[in-house]
A and B are shown apart, each in its own frame.
Chain A
Amino acid sequence: MIHRLSLGSRLAVLFAACTALVSLTAGVLFSRASEQHFIELDQQWLSPRLTAIITRLANVQRPEDLAGYLPALRQDLGHPAELALRIQASDGTPWFDSRPDLPATPADAGLATLHADGIDYRSLAAPLRPVDAGSPRVALLLDITHHQHFLQHMQRLIWLTVGLSALATALLGAWAVRRGLRPLRQIGRIAAGVSAHSLTTRLPVAHMPEELARLAEAVNAMLERLENAFERLSGFSADIAHELRTPLSNLLTHTQVTLSRPRPLETYREALHGNLEELQWMAQLVNDLLYLAKSDHGLLLPQRQPLALHEELDALLEFYAPLAEERGVELRRVGRGDMAGDRHMLRRAFSNVLDNALRFTPAQGQIVVTVDSLDGLSRVRIANTGPAIPADRLPRVFDRFYRVDPARREGQQEHAGLGLAITRSIVQAHGGCIQAHCEAGWTTFVFEWPQA
């Protein structure tokens, strides 16, 4: 049941319960103290009177002896009239009783509280001769109804206070909680309003109390990530469509134009070759997309084996050497390093970056690959001279279909802007990270893996 209550009601109920408990405890303590105080008061009042009577009756041996003392006794008892005197033999036989209608007093000496017909009495008893075991007992009874009335009245007051204060706390608490939780409701309202179209919404952190500010910041950070991922995803689908539309439209146009009238055989052959190039490019695109999709689903599982990174990179540099030489670019590797990884996947990852570097390095430029294993990290840096990538675009170079140079695919047989995205997927599948820097005329891609 309490699980279903709102936080506000739950807190209000708890506040009310606490107040009730506190005021009840205070009330009970006060009530007990008052009762005790009345008892002491009664004792102080009864004690000297009883002593006076006992002193007066010191010579009484038998009930008959009492007769001479009665007028004086009645005088003592007269004011106030609520006082009664009872004298009994040790076996309980009454010698004298000013109010026989009152309840029997206990056999023991001392203070007692009696009750009869809705009226309370306090009795104080003592033996007439303390040293004599068979001595008659003298008891004084006092009507204490007015005390009891006061106590009952006070108890009613206490209950009323408990109830009212609990109610007041519940109401005030509910109001305070409502006020206090207003930012929380605001978070809820804003979160409820977030949809694919309004991911730009953010919670106002500035006016939040400290506890909620942290929550709001976390929610904002989550919204930020969602927005980025969503933007990238919707951009990605649009990009796929765009990338496929160009070659598809080429294929359609080319094929229809070719078939529109009879042509020499050689023209058909040319047309098919042209189409083949487009198709191969599309097949490559689909394969790359599948590779990335596999990586997104965590299916890129590297088969780790110990690798000498410098040897792997040398093999790649050997592969790239003829092209680099033709472009007048110097290509070299320095340093050594080891890691456990999937040879083919890593070669593919490095290859995409080398490919990229070679494309942007001008003639007489350099590409330097640095390998090292230090401080528990295996690191590969691939640096090339050439025009710097603007700082704001650097983190985006690993995005799918992202091209630093927006002029797209001018007949180049490059990967459709997926190469670096694939590289990042492979690096991450190996538990590493990759970053791009631009400094002093060098563009550097840094691969890092913690050594297992």
Chain B
Amino acid sequence: MRLLVVEDQAKTGHYLRQGLSEAGFVTDLAEDGDTGLHLALAGEHDLLILDVMLPGRDGWQILQAVRAAGLETPVLFLTARDAVQDRVHGLELGADDYLVKPFAFAELLARVRTLLRRGSAPTQEPFLGLADLRLDLIRRRVERGGLRIELTAKEFALLELLLRRHGEVLPKSLIASLVWDMNFDSDTNLVEVAIRRLRAKVDDPHAHKLIHTVRGMGYVLEARAS
């Protein structure tokens, strides 16, 4: 997966590239609008991350030029301004997502992965599983090591999310948004408590833990070598 970041603030651009590269993406960085557009039009990228305010050509102009060239590359906007008109303008021009600075890097990463996954059809298989954990999506049942685990509906949804995106660090705000449809910076204690209760049922009886906390970032479900 190859990403293009167009960001004129050198520090921000550098940190973004480092973070995205370390997350496994090949990342190109352009520091002004014209270079950015030139790179974007080559059509080699799977996702564009554009700052709105850029020297030369702003993010919107790049987006327009890219769409005019017939490219359907997903675009995520970064902006320091959170005016409603800006958001509407960006979405009208065909932006796919919008993040307002300051944002958490984990949040950006999660959104990038969501956008990249968007094209592929969602998995329709009736079962999800990792290690000895098994989710029956049709009968809404969970088993681990052959033992039935009783979960509430929200706990089931939370586990399903972690399992579908296993290996990926999910920030608390994204979890709150996807599981409870709470699209605001709510008290993150709530997600912590929910994860703790899920862990008590899924992980506590077992020596091999699946749900892990990544401090300051979020939660990840993965089978780590003990």
Contacts and interface: CB of A to CB of B under 8 A. Distances in A.
Contacts of A355: 186-187
A326 B184 contact: no
Contact of B100 (A287, A288, A344): A287
B56 to A, nearest CB: 27
Interface string B165-186: 0000000000010001111111
B82 interface: yes
A351 B181 contact: no
Interface string A262-294: 000000000001001100101110111011001
Contact of A351 (B82, B184, B193, B216): B184
Interface string B90-105: 0000000000101110
Interface stretch (A143-151, A177-185, A314-322, A394-402): A314-322
B154 A413 contact: no
A294 B183 CA distance: 17
B194 interface: yes
B182 A283 contact: no
Given A284-B185, A347-B182, A413-B189, A294 B197 contact: no
Interface residues of B, number: 25
Contacts of B103: 283
Contacts of B82: 290-291, 294
A72 interface: no
Contacts of B117: none
A344 B184 contact: yes
B216 A414 contact: no
B100 A326 contact: no
A273 B197 CA distance: 24
B83 interface: yes
Contacts of A336: none
A301 interface: yes
B131 interface: no
Contacts of B216: 273, 276-277, 280
Contact of A286 (B102, B176, B188, B215): B102
B35 to A, nearest CB: 29
Nearest to B85: A299
B190 A287 contact: no
A356 B190 CA distance: 13
B84 A287 contact: no
Contacts of B183: 344, 347
A413 B186 CA distance: 10
A280 B104 contact: yes
Given A273-B216, A283-B102, A323-B189, A318 B154 contact: yes
A319 B182 contact: yes
Contact of A347 (B83, B84, B154, B184): B184
Nearest to A285: B102
Contact of B188 (A273, A276, A413): A413
A315 B188 contact: no
Residue in A280, A322, A355 whose Cβ sees the most chain B Cβ within 10 Å: A322
B165 to A, nearest CB: 20
A301 B84 CA distance: 8
Interface string A286-317: 11101100100001010000000000000110
Nearest to B197: A322
Contact of B190 (A320, A347, A348, A415): A320
Contacts of A348: 184, 186
Contacts of A326: 193
B81 to A, nearest CB: 9
A58 B104 CA distance: 135
Given A294-B82, A299-B83, A414 B187 contact: yes
Contacts of A320: 190
Contacts of A351: 182, 184, 186-187
A344 B181 CA distance: 8
Contacts of B215: 273, 276
Interface of B: 82-84, 100, 102-104, 154, 176, 180-190, 193-194, 197, 215-216
Interface of A: 273, 276-277, 280, 282-284, 286-288, 290-291, 294, 299, 301, 315-316, 318-320, 322-323, 326, 344, 347-348, 351, 355, 413-415
16 contacts: A273-B216, A276-B215, A277-B216, A282-B102, A283-B103, A319-B182, A319-B186, A319-B190, A320-B190, A322-B190, A344-B184, A347-B183, A351-B186, A355-B186, A355-B187, A413-B189
For the complex of A and B, 3 pairs with smallest distance between CB atoms? A276-B216, A283-B102, A348-B184
Given A280-B216, A294-B83, 17 more contacts: A273-B215, A283-B102, A287-B185, A290-B100, A291-B82, A299-B83, A316-B182, A318-B154, A318-B180, A322-B193, A323-B189, A323-B193, A326-B193, A347-B184, A355-B186, A355-B187, A413-B188
